Structure 1
Amino acid sequence: MTAYTALTRAAYLASVRDRTTVFFTFAFPLVFLVVFGLLFRGQSVDGGLAYINYVAPGVLSWGVGNAALFGPAFALMHWRRDDILRLVWRTPTPLPTVLGSRFAVAVAVGLAQAVLFTAVALLPMFGLHLSSSWPLALPLLVFGVAAFLAMGLVVGSLADTPEAVAAIANCVMVPMAFLSGSFYPADLLPGWIQTMSWLLPLRYLDHGLTNVLAGRGGLGSLALDCGGLAAFAVLFGLISARTFRWSNRT
């Protein structure tokens, strides 16, 4: 068994061992889908697009980003606090292998979230309509997971306790959800907030998924959204490289 396979297996087992966390990882976005989906059932926004086709991609984006940030952040904090990272450091295993294993698990979780969430949103009580371009959501999800995982690495490097991880991550994700239009169409936001929202990675993921699932925007718009997410992944990846610590003792 290679180091990458062993670490990926360990990361997977650690992710599924806490059944309460697993349950809420998948159930929490569905709660928002039920609330907003039933509250605005049958309504549409400017352009005739059903409200569900705005809120479902937005809530899905937030749920995927939330899981991709919180999971690695908590894992990195715990592994460093328990000196697991220091033990890994003393082996020939390079840091990219450690991070690559976390990325593989995060992508798998994100895709599973997307499949379950979309299946529920397609039920007649919600009425999500998928266009034939829905497979283009795959690269968006992968780039989105990469961007939020990089953010999670920064949070996990800065925080030394579970309480600190939760506080920092929530201070990042909750305002971002409202400023990016995850819970209501971004077009309803004031103009200056719409402009500022493009400085947030969730805006690109939300915008891209909304267009792809509705069959709008084209490949050019998709490329810009993927490019924006890739840029955030690189930016926060560089920051995490500067803040990363193998142990709390150093």
Structure 2
Amino acid sequence: MSAYTALTRANYRAYVRDRTTVFFTFAFPLLFLVVFGLIFKGQTVEDGGPPYINYIAPGVLSWGVGNAAMFGVAFTLMHWRRDDILRLIWRTPTSLPSVLASRYAVAVGVGLVQAALFVGIALLPLFGLHLANTWPLAVPVLVLGITTFMALGLVVGSIADTPEAVAAIANCIMVPMAFLSGSFYPSDLMPGFLRTFSRALPLRYFNDGIIGVLSNRGSSTDLAVACAGLIVFTVVFGLIAAKTFRWSNRG
């Protein structure tokens, strides 16, 4: 068995063993879907436009998937470093790319299952999401978004030394970003200066990509811009993570 396979299996088993985390990973975005879906049921953003759920469901989905990807890798990295698991791995022939790739495989798998469950529930008559025929393109956009927020999670997990610090830093990043990026309401309703500022946030590009392919909003150029934005943020966060990464809290 290769090091990558063994690490991926260990990551998967550790994830499913924590049933509380698994439950809230899937339930948390669904809670927002229920709240917003029932509040704005049957409403449209503008006269003759698509239903409100076609804006809010993709935004909540991208936020929920990004949130799970960032928190998952941040907590894992922090715990592995604090418990000296990373130091033990460092003393073996296992390479750092194998360690990261194994965690990445789990993050992508969880994110895709999370998205499938979320969309399946949003399609119920109670919520009334209508998928565009471009919806299969959501898969590569989701993978890009998960990659971006996992890279951000590596930064958070490299900086924070305790679970409390991870939660505090991650929440300070994700909660304001959700509102400023249009996850909970259409970005078109925000003031112009906030729409401009949101272009500096990775979640804005994730939202635009998912909304575009699930609700058929925007052109292929808009989708390309969203994907390019996610790639740029992945590179930036990856470089920062490489600079801040530590094998152990001991230095």
TM-score normalised to the size of structure 2?
0.98
Alignment match, 2:244: 243
Q: Secondary structure at the match of 1:22?
A: helix
Q: Distance in 2 between matches of 1:142 and 1:42?
A: 31
1:220 shift after superposition: 2.1
Aligned AA (2:70): L
SS in 1 for 2:235: helix
Cα deviations across residues 49-105 of structure 1 (Å, max 9, x unaligned)? 210000000100110010000000000000001100001101111111111111111
Tell me what 2:80 maps to: 79
Which residue of structure 2 lines up, in the alignment, with residue 51 of structure 1? 52
Instruction: Name 1:35's counterpart in structure 2.
Output: 35
Corresponding position of 2:101: 100
SS in 2 for 1:73: helix
Distance in 1, matches of 2:22 and 2:140, equals 24
Instruction: Quote the offset at 1:218 in angstroms.
Output: 3.1
Q: Conserved in 2, the CA contact under 8 Å of 1:12 and 1:105?
A: yes
Task: Supply the distance in 2 between the matched residues of 1:59 and 1:187 (Cα, whole angstroms).
Answer: 16
Question: Matches of 2:14 and 2:219 in 1, distance apart?
Answer: 39
Distance between the aligned counterparts of 1:160 and 1:137, measured in 2?
35
Distance in 2, Cα, partners of 1:216 & 1:118? 17
Distance 1:216 1:162 in 2: 39
Is 1:7 equivalent to 2:7 in the alignment?
yes
Look up the match of 1:149. Answer: 150
AA partner of residue 122 (structure 2): A
* Matched letter for residue 38 of structure 1: L
In 1, the alpha carbon distance for the partners of 2:220 and 2:193 equals 27
CA distance in 1, matches of 2:44, 2:79: 45
Counterpart residue type for residue 26 of structure 2:
F
The aligned residue for residue 137 of structure 2 is: 136
- Pairs within 5 Å for 1:104-115: 104-115=105-116
Q: Distance in 1 between matches of 2:136 and 2:78?
A: 35
Displacement, 1:45?
1.1
Describe the superposition over 1:20-55 as per-residue Cα deviations: whole angstroms up to 9, x where unpaired: 110000001000000000100011113602100000
Cα distance, 1:14 vs structure 2: 1.2
Gaps of 5+ in 1: none
1:70 aligns to 2:41 (yes or no): no
CA deviation map 1:141-162 (0-9, x unaligned): 0010011000100000000100
Alpha-carbon distance in 2 for matches of 1:158, 1:215: 39
**2:240 aligns to what SS in structure 1?**
helix
Consecutive unaligned residues of structure 2, counting only runs of 5 or more, are none
Number of residues paired by the alignment? 250
The superposition leaves residues 124-154 of structure 1 with CA deviations (integer Å, 9 ceiling, x where unpaired) of: 0100000111000011100100110001000
CA distance in 2, matches of 1:228, 1:55: 21
Deviation for aligned residue 1:222? 1.5
Match of 1:215 in 2: 216
1:89-238 maps to which residues of 2 (within 5 A)?
Answer: 89-238=90-239
SS of the residue aligned with 2:124?
A: coil
SS at match of 1:184: coil
Partner Cα separation in structure 2 for residue 164 and residue 17 of structure 1:
23
**Identity score, percent:** 72
Shift of 1:221: 1.8
The whole-number CA distance in structure 1 between the counterparts of 2:136 and 2:205 is 17
